[in-house]
Structure 1
């Protein structure tokens, strides 16, 4: 349940007490976000939503990037293709709320909250996953989405430029390593979440556009991220390479997971590699999966217990 004005100004440190049962909604909310632009958020949201649909889950999507609307455009293209497609094309329940633009910041936030809360209210008990794509800017809606995340995916290019929104990259050792602006947003969202429903946010940094040949820069970025993962408490996963196929399929509303071999010819090695990348990423995200003989909410609690254990161990490492 989404609540207005639910967080006090002060927030306690993040803890993981598995003895306190969280108030979990049926839907598992996945927020794809990073304050750094050009990191591949919409591409990630597209492929994740389609992968979950193809796995048989009930999926809803919300596009909060009101300027770009890339996720919305993709599913418009996909819906158009579905009308004459040679196979069944999966589609999510999609929302593309407009941002309020009045002279009053308070009125804008109240209106944004109402629209977003209505969308969440419609899907939180009827769908198993909600995928939210966010803009590359610090805004009220962007922070609101973070506060609801069960899994937070932050795509980043494999460079120290993208790392700089997490931890200050600087030649001066005094300034180096300071918590940067986007990491502060996540830390605040996590603390507030614990106060509201005792939930946790599983933060996954996804390295996108990794070069095929391992460079010295890539090794340094990997080393720095592994150290930072303990300090900021996130997991690291390998994401998607910069493939032409992702751009080629966008106008059709298709992905490498779709039955492209049915539409034209045998898949190329690049298409097969793209499909494997997406499947590996979804596996590495460790999302809830249906329990045989049980309901989906049960799998959400199993997910919570497993991630609580992981983050307790990470907290212990940080204390050492």
Structure 2
């Protein structure tokens, strides 16, 4: 397949591009600077600039664009940037597809588990309602923008959970502490984090390119885990203790709104669509995932 990818330079995008190329696919990256190779095409989503010729002959478009959620404090300006960095690229891609004679057959546009908001212990499947909060609203508008793609394009909006990797990503700041034996759960630890390993994210997106699936897809492992279990599993695989709990009031003091939405909120997400479609996880259980994260290669 000939695949156009936006947001390919991040942790997920880099791994996914390599995974797809290893499977024999051609991956062309959309970049905001001057192209550095024949596999790059320039665009400017902030101004809606995308040459429709870049999409000609493409079989699929993958959209991973978006500013980092936890990189900076949530000031009013930053929240606006979180919206714009997701909606502008998605709308630009959807509009570009409408301008070509033969649009791509499939549009995979990233969303997130925060679509559901804070739902405690309720099991969340793809038909569960949209929650409340800034991130829930961002995800809802993000998905709506993706469905602006022209008729005939199969639109998939993967609601991806916390991605476990050996470096970087959502646990990028926590993993070094766990390796040193000075990490621990966040808040009371009873909040559920839908998790998935980086290799399984790339495999899931590759699977969704060709599976007869459309609409929202929960991208997480089938084994649910709260933060206490997740941190204990990772620390155990690293042969380190995890006893330094960070109380919720401290997190709120340091991080403000970020703490409640990203760290203390609970989404017990179930990958119902992936399971029914026959997707096979490399790391379906927490023990397998933790062992992979802790391994050196």
| TM-score (structure 1 length as normaliser) | 0.36
Q: Which structure has more strand as a fraction of its residues?
A: 2
Structure number with greater CO (CA < 8 Å, separation at least 6) is 1
More helix by share: 1
